[in-house]
């Protein structure tokens, strides 16, 4: 029977490129879930402006979870990047409570980090402190529930998607960038007022990036 050498070559190459789980450095999982919440009529979190309220959806907001584990039941770390001004203590406590009901002590306050993208375009009303709830005219359960559920479900997705992979750290000089702080105010506070075309000499231009690479695909582009 005639055998196609090209098919044999592809099969051999595939076996070579698929390392076994035993040789992997980590188990890596990612998850993403919609956290948009109320689409209209809710004051946005960030500017403390009563006139800045939601009036429709431009882009959906999401919670994106990344989990790195040493083994299926071993030590791990979960990081959630949330499209919100920030997380909150109440959000974190509620998420951890839900995770404990699903996983026991596998995910807890020591290995789960929730970070906001600092967007000012998401709905407010999900923080527990009065000062943050004044412009949102109080606590808004729909906003809170959407965020908590999105974080929980994104972590659940990442947990179910754990695959063998490696993590690489990259560094480089980030010379052309924008400053989001008032340079003069910062420098005057320290008595060092000076500028260099809005890129002051004291600014840290070193950029560090972690690249989680699954042995089947990479996570550099992830939504």
- Distance between CA 26 and CA 165 in Å, rounded? 5
Q: Which two tokens stand for residue 192?
A: 């060092």
- Specify the higher pLDDT residue, 200 or 129: 129
| pLDDT confidence of residue 177 | 57
pLDDT-derived band of residue 196, with 50, 70 and 90 as boundaries?
A: very low
- Distance between CA 196 and CA 101 in Å, rounded? 54
pLDDT-derived band of residue 124, with 50, 70 and 90 as boundaries?
A: confident
Provide the CA 59 distance to its chain's centre, in angstroms: 17
| pLDDT confidence of residue 19 | 47
- Distance between CA 80 and CA 95 in Å, rounded? 11
What CA dihedral angle connects 46, 49, 51 and 54, to 10 degrees? 10
Single out the residue of 78, 58, 216 nearest to residue 154, CA to CA. 78
**DSSP secondary structure, 170-184, as one string:** EEEE--S----S-HH
Q: What is the tens place of the pLDDT at every residue in 74-85?
A: 889 999 999 998
| pLDDT confidence of residue 189 | 63
Single out the residue of 112, 106, 110 nearest to residue 74, CA to CA. 106
Strand order in the sheet with 163-173: 112-116, 76-82, 62-69, 26-34, 163-173, 206-214
Res 169 pLDDT > 90: no
Could you list the residues known to form a binding site for Zn(2+), using ranges: 118
- Distance between CA 65 and CA 212 in Å, rounded? 13
Q: Domain-by-domain residue ranges, the chain?
A: 21-165
| pLDDT confidence of residue 46 | 79
Could you list the residues known to form a binding site, using ranges: 118
């Amino acid at each position: 029977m005639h055998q196609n050498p090209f098919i044999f070559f592809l099969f051999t190459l595939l076996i070579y490129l698929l390392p076994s789980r035993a040789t992997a450095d980590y188990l890596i999982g990612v998850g993403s879930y919609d956290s948009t919440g109320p689409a209209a009529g809710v004051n946005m979190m960030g500017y403390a402006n009563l006139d800045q309220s939601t009036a429709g959806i431009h882009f959906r907001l999401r919670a994106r979870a990344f989990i790195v584990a040493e083994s299926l039941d071993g030590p791990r770390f979960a990081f959630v990047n949330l499209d919100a001004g920030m997380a909150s203590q109440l959000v974190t406590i509620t998420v951890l409570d839900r995770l404990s009901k699903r996983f026991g002590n596998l995910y807890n306050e020591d290995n789960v980090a929730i970070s906001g993208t600092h967007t000012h375009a998401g709905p407010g009303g999900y923080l527990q402190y009065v000062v943050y709830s004044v412009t949102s005219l109080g606590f808004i359960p729909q906003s809170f529930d959407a965020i908590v559920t999105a974080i929980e479900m994104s972590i659940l997705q990442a947990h179910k998607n754990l695959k063998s992979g490696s993590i690489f750290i990259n560094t480089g000089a980030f010379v052309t960038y924008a400053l989001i702080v008032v340079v003069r105010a910062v420098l005057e506070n320290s008595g060092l007022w000076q500028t260099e075309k809005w890129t002051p000499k004291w600014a840290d231009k070193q950029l560090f990036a972690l690249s989680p690479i699954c042995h089947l695909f990479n996570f550099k582009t992830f939504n």
